[in-house]
């Protein structure tokens, strides 16, 4: 599983990354979590609002920090 957390490095972006990592630990799922902060790379993913979470190429959340419950549902 490939997860990209997109954002320039603001507090909300760090929070989104933390939530994703906590959800992975809770679910017992191993995944490659990558922080994407380059605006061109973020735009190439189709993301135009940050923070954003992209799982296996599918945009799951943009413009807000996802809840752990949401992330857990995306991992299943």
Taking only the tens place, the pLDDT of each residue in 12-61 is 999 999 999 999 999 999 999 999 999 999 999 999 999 999 999 999 99
Based on the number of CB atoms within 10 Å of its own CB, is 31 exposed (0-12), middle (13-18) or buried (19 or more)? middle
Write down the catalytic residue from 2, 8, 10, 43. Answer: 10
- Report the alpha-carbon distance of residue 10 to residue 1 in Å, rounded: 25
Q: Which of 3, 5, 6, 13 is catalytic?
A: 13
Q: In the predicted model, what is the mean pLDDT of residues 61-76?
A: 96
Q: Active site includes 61?
A: no
Residue 47 has a pLDDT of: 97
Instruction: Look up the pTM and report it.
Output: 0.94
Question: Does the domain spanning 2-68 belong to CATH 3.30.70.890?
Answer: no
CA distances from 12 to 1, 6, 17, 47, 57 (A): 23, 11, 9, 16, 21
Confirm whether 10 is a catalytic residue: yes
């Amino acid at each position: 599983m490939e997860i990209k957390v997109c954002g320039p490095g603001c507090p909300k972006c760090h929070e989104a990354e933390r939530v994703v990592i906590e959800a992975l630990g809770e679910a017992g799922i191993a995944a490659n979590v990558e922080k994407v902060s380059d605006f061109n790379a973020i735009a190439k993913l189709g993301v135009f609002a940050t923070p954003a979470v992209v799982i296996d190429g599918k945009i799951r959340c943009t413009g807000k920090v996802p809840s752990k419950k949401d992330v857990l549902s995306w991992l299943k």
